[in-house]
A = this chain, B = another copy of it.
Amino acid sequence: MKNMVNYPTKKKLNPNQTIRPTQTKKGMSLEDDLNQSNTYYREMDLAIVHKKPTPITVVSVDYPVRSKARITEAYYRIASTTDYNGIYKGKMLDFEAKETHTKTSFSLNNIHAHQIDHMISIRKHGGIAFLIIRFVTLDETYLLFIEDLVEFVKMNTRQSLPYAWIVEKAYRIPYKLGCPIPYLAVLDSVYFKGVTP
C-alpha cells in the first residue's frame, strides 16, 4: 500500500516529517496525485497527459566521464506555459495545478499572468484549459475552467478567488483509489456528454 501511494515518483518520506492523515490515505501531494492519475489514464489508454519538465537554465556542465554530463551550475526559470498538457477524445488539454493552505480563498498570485494568457489562447484555439486547485487543509480538490476564471477577473478587482465562489463555479473532483484526481470525469460531464473515446 505504501508503495502504491508513492507511485510513480517514489518520493521518499522524510522520517522526521509529520504525516497528516490525508497524506497516508490519499497520496503525497497534488503533483504526486496528478502523476498517478495521468499514469492511470495513459495505461488505460483513455488520455495522454504528461507533466512538462521544470524549466532550468544551464550555465555550466562538467564531463567527469565522457558519457555522463554533470550540470554544476543552473537556475530555475519561470515557466512560459502551464505544467500539464495532453489529449483526450481528440481535444487538447492544458492545465495548471496549485495547492493552497488557506481555507477561505485561493490567491491569484499562485498563477502567473502569462500562464492565464496561455490558457486563454489554448481555449480560443479549440483546446480545453483549466486550473486544478487543492485546498490542502480542507482536503478538497476542484477543477476550474479558464472561462470561469476569466469571468471572475473581468467582474472583480480582488486578487483572490473566495472559497464560496470556487464551490459554486468550479467542479469538485472526488478522490478515487488508483486514480486520485479523476478530472476526466468532470470533462465528460461538461464537454463530452454522450461522446465515447
Contact = CB atoms under 8 A, between A and B. Distances in A.
Given A50-B81, A121-B48, A72 B73 contact: yes
A69 B73 contact: no
Contacts of A80: 50
A74 B71 contact: yes
Number of copies: 2
Interface residues of A, number: 38
Given A53-B56, A56-B53, A125-B89, A118 B48 contact: yes
A126 interface: yes
Max chain B CB contacts within 10 Å: which of A45, A68, A74, A76? Answer: A74
A51 B89 CA distance: 23
Interface in A119-174: 121-122, 125-127
Given A74-B74, A87-B127, 18 more contacts: A48-B118, A48-B121, A50-B81, A52-B52, A53-B53, A53-B54, A53-B56, A53-B79, A54-B56, A56-B71, A58-B74, A70-B73, A71-B71, A71-B75, A86-B92, A87-B92, A87-B125, A89-B125
Interface of A: 42, 45, 47-48, 50, 52-56, 58, 68-76, 79-81, 85-92, 118, 121-122, 125-127, 197
